Amino acid sequence: MIPIHEQFHSWQGEGVHSGRSAYFIRTLGCPVHCPWCDSAGTWHPDYIPTKIERFSAEALAQRAAARKPEFVVITGGEPAIHDLLPLTDALHACHLPVHLETSGAFALRGEFDWVTLSPKRWRPPLATVWKQANECKLIIDSIGALTEWAPQLLAWDVERPIWLHPEWSCIQDATILDAITEWIKVHGKPYRAGWQLHKCYQADLRDPGSQAAVPLGGNVARGY
């Protein structure tokens, strides 16, 4: 049984598969604790629900298949803290491709058709997950973030895109946006400008299974 924060039908708003119909399964729990997390309901004591629902892999797969998406996205929280092999097997048995969104800090357990790695400085990715990822999504929350990951990205295959996403509270920060623009102009492939298109549409909230996002502003004194 897997603890689930939410599951809903929307479309992928980020990365290579942007704009495509997707069913999202957001697992509960995350030890990474990003200070600007927009899914704090998966782990933060102020927002985590009092009632936690758990589902079998088969039940989750049946719910997803009933909505007829192009693929399923398993996300979190940090989904890789769970053994996802039973879930990926159940989804594949329903002929649904399975995508994973992960910080890469934990070994992947499951069979995935696409892996999006979003590395976090608080708990860096494992070398094995760097190799398994099909695309990388860097959250740019400061100018320094652009150079912070450069050593790890030197060995990145240029055919696998690296998306530069402004952290959502910085989307009107011209300094951040200009820095991303200049980085891409100077370095080119594999860097691409990223955006969370689904938030512009409020697409996820159109499904009753989606929970309202809970963005954090960060409080070092409280450990996040």
Residue 6 within any structural domain of the chain: yes
Residue 223 within any structural domain of the chain: no
- The predicted model gives 66-86 an average pLDDT of 97
**pLDDT over 70 percentage in the chain:** 96
Give the domain CATH number at 184: 3.20.20.70
Residue 123 within any structural domain of the chain: yes
User: Which domain range does residue 21 map to?
Assistant: 2-217
Residue 15 within any structural domain of the chain: yes
Side-chain half-sphere exposure of 14, counting CA atoms within 13 A: 27
Residue 31 within any structural domain of the chain: yes
Q: For residues 176 and 168, what is the distance between their CA atoms, to the nearest angstrom?
A: 11
DSSP-assigned beta bridge partners for residue 100: 74, 115
Q: Is 13 left (phi over 0), alpha (psi -120 to 50) or beta?
A: alpha
Residue 155 within any structural domain of the chain: yes
Mean pLDDT score across all residues of the chain: 92
Q: Is the pLDDT of residue 117 over 60?
A: yes
Locate tokens 């030197």: which residue? Answer: 154
Q: Is the pLDDT of residue 150 over 90?
A: no
Residue 176 within any structural domain of the chain: yes
More confident residue, 110 or 218: 110
pLDDT of residue 91: 98
Residue 224 within any structural domain of the chain: no
- Find all residues with CB under 8 Å of 210, minimum gap 6, and list them: 6, 8, 10, 24, 204
User: Which range among 11-15, 40-44, 58-62, 218-222 shows the weakest confidence by mean pLDDT?
Assistant: 218-222
Question: What is the domain count for the chain?
Answer: 1
